[in-house]
Amino acid sequence: MAEAIVRTRFAPSPTGIMHIGNLRSALYEYLIARVAGGHFILRIEDTDRERLVEGAVEAIYKTLRTCGIHHDEGPDIGGPSAPYVQSERLPIYRRYANDLVKQGDAYPCFCSIERLASLHEEQSGDDFIGYDRHCREIDPAEAAARIEKGEQYVIRQKMPLLGETSFSDAVYGTITVDNKTLEDQVLIKSDGYPTYNFANVVDDHLMGITHVVRGSEYLSSTPKYNLLYETFGWEIPVYVHLPLIVGEDGRKLSKRHGATSFDELIEAGYLPEAIINMIAFLGWSPGNTTRENFTLEELESAFTISGISKAPAVFSYKKLDWMNEQYIKNMPEDTWIAMVKEKADTLFKDQPYDAAMLARVLKERTTRLSDIPDTIAFMVETPTYARDLFKLKRAKLNAEKAADILAALIPDMEALQSWDEASIHDLLEQTIATQNRKKGEIMGAVRLALSGRTVTPGGAIELAVILGRDVSLSHMKNALDFLNETDVTSE
């Protein structure tokens, strides 16, 4: 028999933000399908009506789209297993639940929330075995009558009391548990909606999901799902449980660790490509190479289930920084210039500037997009100076020399035919030769005059080009005035 085509699904609940862990699940699910030439399905699990968040589904679409994780079937594009929204599939779950009740593998439970709550209190920690199966042996006829009368009820799965259940996971291997540790979990809630525990199994089967990929927090409830597959007589999928993503302190990644959602990461100035690359390597490695920079497209052929590790992975923002820098450095010129302009335009306003040169100097020095405004803020300010600013030890520059250099240089620069990199470069090199100066002296004096800063993105020539002739000359004159006005002899 030929291998069935691989089908995976991303099944988020629309409860708000796209957490990094969710995104990684989506990514792995997508990759496992793509690598095998299979299909990736998007399914919305909105069975918890109290946690629904307005606009959450749109946010999910948007995130997947900007990451390049495209689904083959889903609520927005349809497909052979439609509908792909669980709230639109209620009759289906009901039918299967009823089947289970009929075969004696599930039963209606009339216990009140209050009773269940007191149950939990009594079983103070020690040997809590969950629901006490109070309604398990109610006579079916009686149960039917009570339902008929309109009594509230849920449907619970009847777990085997003896024996053990084991299943095989592609990452964690064979896992076996005693059936007596399994609770008679709720399949259908009293509001008629299915629980995740039931809906995921029914849908995964009906939608032909071959690889169930999800976080390892589902590992301990998987035996119960497995039992469901068995009682239905359905083929058991390949389980692929993913190690957790944790914060620096080893605990489940949460708010206090920093940005934890895709949106927050974007907001913080990271590129979608870098984020994807980063999370791809959180809990997975290619094994046969030491390469770490993979685009989504490359991952689509390189990804392997066997490369997934079992141990939880700490999310490192430092590594993300580095990853982001890599993507910025490798970005096509035009794309990068556009991104820089987006940040710079609002800052420069009417002041002209050379965006191409600005982008060039920023390319090797930008970690996060959001850092750009701060690093270039000085470019739209009129520099203020201090004599000490012009003291450069290595270049043997001091305020006095700087004054001489600027005084000699300004007329030449004013006379410059064309204000471009090559011309300015040539002029400065000439000056170095003519005045018999060190390169660092000339370059330093100019750079300091132009910026008023000891640290600048780009050197003298780049700054001059970015700022343009008028602003550059104006700053240099200001600097010269300052140097002349302050007391030289006191030095």
Q: Which is nearer to RNA, 272 or 452 (CB)?
A: 452
C-alpha neighbours within 13 Å on the C-beta side of residue 431: 24
Distance in Å, CB of 93 to RNA, minimum: 11
Q: How far is the CB of 311 from RNA (least distance, A)?
A: 3
Contacts 24+ apart (CB under 8 A), 54-63: 56/14, 56/15, 56/16, 57/14, 59/16, 59/17, 59/18, 59/263, 60/12, 60/14, 60/18, 63/18, 63/23, 63/262, 63/263
Exposure of 281 in the CB half-sphere (CA atoms within 13 A): 19
> Cα separation of 420 and 412, whole Å?
14
Written as six digits, the tokens of 115 are: 């009773």
- Residue 255: active-site member: yes
- Measured from the CB of residue 85, what is the shortest distance to RNA in angstroms? 12
- Cβ atoms of residues 147 and 132 within 8 Å: no
Return the amino acid letter for 386: A
Secondary structure element (H or E) that encloses residue 321, with its range: helix 317-329
The structure tokens listed for 327 are 């993507």
Query: 93 or 482, CB closer to RNA?
Result: 93
Which one of the listed residues 158, 180, 224, 255 is annotated catalytic? 255
Q: Which amino acid is residue 258, in one-letter code? A: G
Q: How far apart are CA 442 and CA 444, in angstroms?
A: 5
| Nearest partner of 200 among 213, 190, 191, judged by Cα | 213
Query: What is the nearest approach in angstroms of RNA to the Cβ of residue 358?
Result: 13
Q: Are 313 and 253 in contact (CB under 8 A)?
A: no
Of the candidates 433, 452, 435, 438, the one whose C-alpha atom is nearest the C-alpha of residue 395 is 438
Q: How far lies 277's CA from each of 95, 213, 294, 322, 457, in Å?
A: 43, 19, 6, 11, 27
Task: Supply the angle between the helices 439-451 and 460-485 in degrees, to the nearest 10.
Answer: 80
CB of 2 to RNA, least distance (A): 25
Residues 6+ apart with CB under 8 A from 433: none
**Could you tell me the smallest distance in angstroms from the CB atom of residue 203 to RNA?**
10
340's tokens: 């820089």
CB of 489 to RNA, least distance (A): 28
Q: Is 241 left (phi over 0), alpha (psi -120 to 50) or beta?
A: beta
Shortest distance in whole angstroms from residue 352 CB to RNA = 21
Pick between residue 278 and residue 483 the one whose CB is nearest to RNA.
278
* Cβ nearer to RNA, comparing 237 with 243: 243
- Mark 434-472 as b/e (b = at least 16 C-beta within 10 Å): eeebbebbbbbbbbbbbbbeeebbbebbbbbbbbebebb
Distance of CA 100 to the CA centre of its chain: 40
Closest approach of Cβ 375 to RNA, in Å? 9
Catalytic annotation, residues: 255
